[in-house]
Amino acid sequence: MKDQNNIMKDLINTMFTSNASPFYIPNFEYQVESYPPWSGSITQSISNKPSLDIKDENDDVIVIIDVPGVEKDNIKVRLVNEKLLELECEQKNEHEDKKENYCVRERSYGYVKRMIPLPAHVTELDAKTSFKNGVLELRFKKIKIAKKEYLKLE
């Protein structure tokens, strides 16, 4: 017999992972199972919150964002201010499979807009970007912000 803590954990886990639950949030990733007459599968890989790493290294802040399946032209990145980065990207997939007397056409669309707080003040001057195999890397130079001093009263 399970104790009450384990029963409660199982109930909460089911509540957030069952697609019949009102709390269930799909992450935009799905797979169409291979089922006759279909022979392949379609996978949409953009999620509503792409994985990212932020590194604070000496004079740089490095942001690495996973956006698999997204074309470089469909990604927009900008600094909103010295400590806030905005990422916007969209993914469009279309697949058509025709065989003998049937046709399957699948379409999917994913859109992400995310605000990313940065650990230090940065500038877009001399920023470096690279995009390879669905991984976007951004490198910003840190800027020093002078501490506000109290004025001397005379």
The CATH number given to whatever domain includes residue 91 is: 2.60.40.790
Return all residues near 3 (Cβ < 8 A) that are at least 6 apart: none
Q: What is the mean pLDDT of residues 6-20?
A: 65
What's the pLDDT score for residue 15?
A: 62
Task: Specify the 3-state DSSP secondary structure of 37.
Answer: coil
Looking at the domain assignment, is residue 149 inside a domain? no
Looking at the domain assignment, is residue 138 inside a domain? yes
pTM: 0.59
What's the pLDDT score for residue 111?
A: 83
- Rounded to the nearest integer, the mean pLDDT of the chain is 77
Res 88 pLDDT > 70: yes
Looking at the domain assignment, is residue 154 inside a domain? no
Q: How many domains does the chain have?
A: 1
What's the pLDDT score for residue 136?
A: 94
Looking at the domain assignment, is residue 137 inside a domain? yes
Looking at the domain assignment, is residue 69 inside a domain? yes
Res 72 pLDDT > 70: yes
Among residues of the chain, what percentage have pLDDT more than 70?
Answer: 72
Tell me how far apart the alpha carbons of residues 121 and 118 are, in angstroms, rounded to a whole number.
Answer: 7
Looking at the domain assignment, is residue 150 inside a domain? no
Chain mean position to CA 129: 17
Tell me how far apart the alpha carbons of residues 14 and 24 are, in angstroms, rounded to a whole number.
Answer: 9
118: number of Cβ within 10 Å: 19
pLDDT band at 41 (very low <50, low <70, confident <90, very high): very low
Tell me how far apart the alpha carbons of residues 88 and 69 are, in angstroms, rounded to a whole number.
Answer: 14
pLDDT band at 29 (very low <50, low <70, confident <90, very high): very low
Determine the structural domain holding residue 122 and report its residue range. 4-142
Q: What is the mean pLDDT of residues 80-107?
A: 83
Looking at the domain assignment, is residue 153 inside a domain? no
Looking at the domain assignment, is residue 121 inside a domain? yes
